[in-house]
Structure 1
Amino acid sequence: MQDQDRFDTLGRLEDLPQDYRDELSSKNLVPLWPSLRAVLPPGTPARKTQPTYWPYAAIKPLLLKAGELTPIEKAERRVLVLANPGHGLEKMQASAAMYLGMQLLLPGELAPPHRHTPNAVRMVVEGEGAWTLVNGEKCPMQRGDLILTPTGLWHEHGHDGEQPVIWLDVLDLPLVYYMEASYHVEGPSQAVKAGEGVKSYARGGLRPSPVFERSNQAYPMLRYPWEDARAALLEMASDAFAAEAVQITYMQPETGADAQNILGFYALMLRPGQTLSLPARSPAQVFHVIEGQVKASIVDSSFTLSEADTCCAPGYEKVTLSNLSAVQSAFVFIADESPLHRKLGVYENRG
C-alpha cells in the first residue's frame, strides 16, 4: 500500500507548463515520472493478454471458406490468425511473444519455400497426406505431431492426400517484430535429404553416437510424432509413483534444452476426472486440446474446450484444468514463453 501511495504522489504531465512540454517534445525528450507507474507498476506487471478462447468448430468452416475464396497462389500461407483482443486484433498476437494461426492446405497444393527470422512450430490438427519439408527433411504431418521450422531454415508445405489438412501455427513473431528483426526470404524448392531426425532419437535416454564426426546440428530433430509423445505420457501415468501432473517437454535431444530458443512446448495428460491447478508463473500460456474435453478456468473466465479448441492465459495468473470425462484421459498441448523469461532472468513461479 505504501508503494501505491508513493506512486499516487507522482506528478502528472498536465502539471507541467505547456511551453515546457512543447520544448521537451521539440528535442525528442519525455519526462519519465508521469509515466513511471505505467511502465513499472507495483507488485505485478500490467498485461494486455486476456483470457481468450478460440473454438475449432467456429474456425474450421471459415478456414474452409477461405480455401474457396483465396487460392494458395494468392495467399502463400492460408491462415486465420487467432488474435487476442487485449492486444488489439490488428496486432495479430495471442500474447506478448506468441502468435497463433490456423493454417489450411488443400489436396494438391504447395505452400512455396521460404525462410524467416521468427521461429515457428506446427501442431497438426486434422487430416492426412500433407508434409512439411524443413531444411531438406521431409516431415509427414499427422494429427498431434509437432513439427519445428526454426529461425532461418528453409521450409515448404505440400499435400499429396485427398482431404484438407489443418494445423496450428505457433510463432515468436510478436517478439521478433518488436525487435525490428522480422523478415522472410523466398527461395527455390529444396532437394529432399535421406533420413529423419526422429528415427535417430526414438528412445529416451539414448542418442546416436557417430564414430567419426558429429554433425552438431542446432535442430537435429524436427518432427515429434504424437504417437511417441502420447505413449510416453501413458507410460509415465502407469507408474504407481507417478506425479500428480503428467507432462512432458519437447526438447532438443542432444542438449536437453527446450526444442526452440524463445518459446516452450509441452504435452500434458489429465487422468479421467482429474482437476489440476497450475501455479501462477510469469509467462503467458496457450492450451490446445489434442484429445478429450477440458474445462479451463483462467482469472474470471471459464472455457469448455473440445478437441482442437485453443485458449490462452496471461502470465502471473493461476490456471485450473479439469478433465470433463470420468472414463477417458485428456491430452493438452501447451506453448508458453518460459525459455524467453529464463534467458532474460525475469522468470517467476509464484505458486
Structure 2
Amino acid sequence: MARKPALSSTASGKPDVAQTESFARSISLHELPGHLIRRLDSRAASLYETFTGQSDLTPRQFGVLLTLFQAGALPQTELGNRLHLDRSTLGEMLQRMVERKLVERRAHERDRRAVEITLTDAGKSALLAAVRQALEAQEALLSPLPDYLRPVFLKCLQILADAEDPEIVSLDDLYREAERLDVTPGWVSRDRPIFWKEPRTDFVPMHWDYKQVKDTLASAGALIDVALAERRNLILRNSFPNNNFATVKTLVCAYQMLLPGEVAPSHRHSAHAMRVILDAKGSYSIVDGEKTPMEGGDIVLTPGGHWHGHGHEGAEPAYWLDGLDIPSVHLMEPMFFEEHPDKYEKITSVAASSRFRFSRDSILTRLDSAKGDPAGAHGPRVTLEAPDMPTMGLTVEKLGTGSQTRRHRSTANRIFVVMEGAGQTRVGEETFVWRRGDTVVVPTWTDFHHQTTSDSLLFCLSDEPLMRAFKYYRSEYL
C-alpha cells in the first residue's frame, strides 16, 4: 500500500477540507491491513466451522480447551494472558463453557482468592473430536500461499500480534489496560477504602457463658472420640457475617474437654498455643517429651513448632480454654501442620515445674507483690513471659470486690477469661455479666472497663506484643 502524503493545515490549525476530501477518496479500503485482517479472520472462522462441523464450539473456545489440555488447570488470569483475552471477554466465554460443562471453575488450591479453570471430561471429548479437523482448517487457510512464503507470513503475523497496544488516549482506554494487566488505579473510589481515619473492625464484642458451653461439651463426650477427632473442642467464633472461626482478628479460642483415661494424639504446627485450665485434676500436657501437670488455675504453653499432646489420669472430666494465633498465621501464610509419626509422643521426662507451665500457686504468689496501673486501667497484674510465643501477650490481674477499672481502649485485641470471681465488663455499647470460666472479647480500638462483684482473677490473651513489634500499638484513656 502506497504511503499517503501528510495533510496540510489551515491558519486555524484545522486540516484543509478540500484536501481531506481528496485524501479520503484516494484511500483503498481493500489495501488497509486492518480490513484485510478482518477478512482473514472471517475466512478462518468459516473454514474452522466447515472442517470441524462445529457451530457450537467457537475457535476461541477451542483455544481454551487446547490450552487447558496441554497445560492442565490454570488460574483464570493466567489463562487470559496465554490466550491474549481481556478479563471481561474471557469471563463471559467461560461462563458459557461452564454452563455446557466443558470447563469447571474452582478455588485455587494454594491461593483461595484465585479462580482456577479446569478441563472437564466433556471438554476433553469435545477437543479431541475437533482437533484434527481444526488443524486441517489452518492448513486450508494457508493453502493459497507457496510453501516458502508461509514461514515469512506467520513471522509477520507474530510481529504484528506482539506489537505494543495502541496509545492510551482516554480514561476508558486506561481502565481497560489496567484491567488487562491486573493492576488497579489508586485514585478510584472503593467499597472498602485503602486508608481510614482510625482503626475499624468487623469483629464485635462477645461473651461466652462457660457453664453453657461446658454442658454442651459434656454431651459431646459421648459422641466425639479424641482418637478420631484429636481434639474435642468448641471454637469461640465471633458472630459477624461470613466469619469462619476467628475469635478476634489475630487470635482464636476454644473450650476443650478431656475425659478420664483419654490421651489426645500428639502433633505440631506453626501456630503458638496456650491453655487456661479451668476444671482439671490429674490431667497433664506433653511438650517435646516433657510431661507436666495441668491443674485448675494453671496456664500451660505449647509454642509453635513443638510436639505436644495431653492426657488425663483423673477421675472427672477436665476442661480448659485454648488460645492460638492461627488467624495471624493464616494472614501471613506460614502454616505448617504435622501429626506425630508415632501418634502418641513418648514421655521422656516428668517435671512439676516447667517453662511451659505457670502454676496457679506461682501466679498468686507473684500477684501478691504486683502493682496496679497508676491511672486505674487495670488492677495488680503480672505478665506471664513466653519468649517462644512472641505474637501473644499473657497477663493475669487481680481485682478486689467492688473494683472498677478506668475506661480505655487500644489497638490490641484482647480476650479475657475469668479464672475466679464475678462481675461485669462494659465493651463499647455492650455490658457482659460474667462469672468463673466465662470469656469476654474486646476487639481493637473498642473501649472497655471492668467492675467486680467479688474478688476476681482475670486472665488476658492479647496481640499487644505483635502490635508493639510492628509499631502499631496505641492506647488512650477515655
Normalised by the length of structure 1, the TM-score is 0.80
Residues 6-65 of structure 1, C-alpha deviation per residue, up to 9 Å, x if partnerless?
xxxxxxxxxx988865553343222333239623111x1121121001111221111112
Corresponding residue for residue 349 of structure 1: 475
Instruction: Trace 1:85-164 onto structure 2 (pairs within 5 A).
Output: 85-86=239-240, 88-89=242-243, 91-164=244-317
Helix, strand or coil at the partner of 1:230: helix
1:190 Cα offset (Å): 3.0
Give the 4+ runs in structure 1 shifted more than 4 A. Answer: 16-23
Structure 1 CA distance, aligned partners of 2:439 and 2:349? 35
Q: % of aligned pairs identical?
A: 28
Distance 1:174 1:308, change over 3 A: same
Structure 2: unaligned runs, 5 residues or longer: 1-169
Aligned to 1:69: 223
Secondary structure of the 1:346 match is coil
Cα offsets for 1:94-117 (capped at 9, x unmatched): 111111011111111111011100
Cα separation, 1, equivalents of 2:464 and 2:378: 21
Q: Is the 8 A contact 1:87 1:93 kept in 2?
A: no
Q: Does the residue aligned with 1:35 lie in a helix, a strand or coil?
A: coil
CA distance in 1, matches of 2:468, 2:371: 28
> Does 1:222 find its partner at 2:348?
no
Alignment match, 2:206: 52
Q: How does 1:254-265 map to 2 (within 5 A)?
A: 260-265=389-394
Separation in 2 of the partners of 1:19 and 1:310?
A: 54
CA contact (8 A) 1:120 1:169 kept: yes
Are residue 176 (structure 1) and residue 176 (structure 2) matched? Answer: no
Cα distance in 1, alignment partners of residues 281 and 352 from structure 2: 21
2:103 match: none
Check 1:193–1:40 CA distance in 2 against 1; reply closer, same or farther (3 A cut): same
1:119-151: CA deviations, max 9, x gaps? 000111112111110112112111111111001
Higher helix fraction (1 or 2) = 2
Q: Which residue of structure 1 lines up, in the alignment, with residue 384 of structure 2? A: 250
Contact 2:269 2:305 in 1 (8 A): yes
The equivalent of 2:411 in structure 1 is 282
8 Å Cα contact 1:87-1:95 kept in structure 2 = no
Q: Which has the higher contact order (CA 8 A, sep 6+)?
A: 1
Give the aligned residue type for 1:57.
K
Q: CA offsets, 1:287-332, max 9 Å, x none?
A: 110110021001000000110000101122221101113xxx2111
CA distance in 2, matches of 1:138, 1:185: 20
Counterpart amino acid of residue 322 in structure 2: D
Q: Match of 1:231, SS?
A: helix
Match of residue 315, structure 1, among 444, 449, 453: 444
C-alpha contact 2:226 2:264 (8 A) present in aligned 1:
yes
Instruction: Tell me by how many angstroms 1:170 deviates.
Output: 0.4
Deviation per residue, 1:177-234 (Å, 9 max, x gap): 12221221111233333363836xxxxxxxxxxxxxxxxxxxxx10000121122213
The equivalent of 1:210 in structure 2 is: none
Return the letter of the residue paired with 2:381.
Q
Determine helix, strand or coil for the equivalent of 1:277.
coil
Aligned partner of 2:368 in structure 1 is 234
Output the aligned Cα RMSD: 2.4
Separation in 1 of the partners of 2:191 and 2:391? 28
One-letter identity of the residue aligned with 2:461? A
Q: Which has the higher strand share?
A: 1
Letter in 1 for 2:345: Q
Runs of 5+ unmatched residues, structure 1: 1-15, 200-220, 253-257
Q: Which moved more, 1:57-66 or 1:167-176?
A: 57-66
